[in-house]
Amino acid sequence: MLVLVLVLPDDVPGHPLQTSIDVASLAPNAEITVFPWKEPEELTQRTIDRVRRFLKAHVRGSSG
């Protein structure tokens, strides 16, 4: 079974940036978004669009 991962990095105590980078580099077929992605609003919207494209491309039964 192929497991796909989309990593949205953050840098808060519960989710350190280095951990996000490590996960993305160790997981086969992982994709990672830009950091920071929460601001400005335009970048947030682009990240949301990327998540939607990722899900449409990889979720079974999705029309895309």
Q: Give pLDDT tens digits for 16-38.
A: 999 999 999 999 889 999 999 99
Per-residue model confidence (pLDDT) at position 2: 79
Residue 6: pLDDT band with limits 50, 70, 90: very high
Residues 6+ apart with CB under 8 A from 55: 62
Reading the block at residue 25, the tokens are 């580099």
Residue 62: pLDDT band with limits 50, 70, 90: low
**Residue position matching structure tokens 């920071």:** 36
Q: Is the pLDDT of residue 63 over 80?
A: no
Rounded distance between C-alpha atoms, residue 40 and residue 13, angstroms: 22
Task: State the average pLDDT over residues 39-55.
Answer: 95
**Alpha helices (runs of H) in the chain, residue ranges in sequence order:** 17-26, 41-58
Read off the pTM: 0.81
Domain ranges of the chain: 6-58
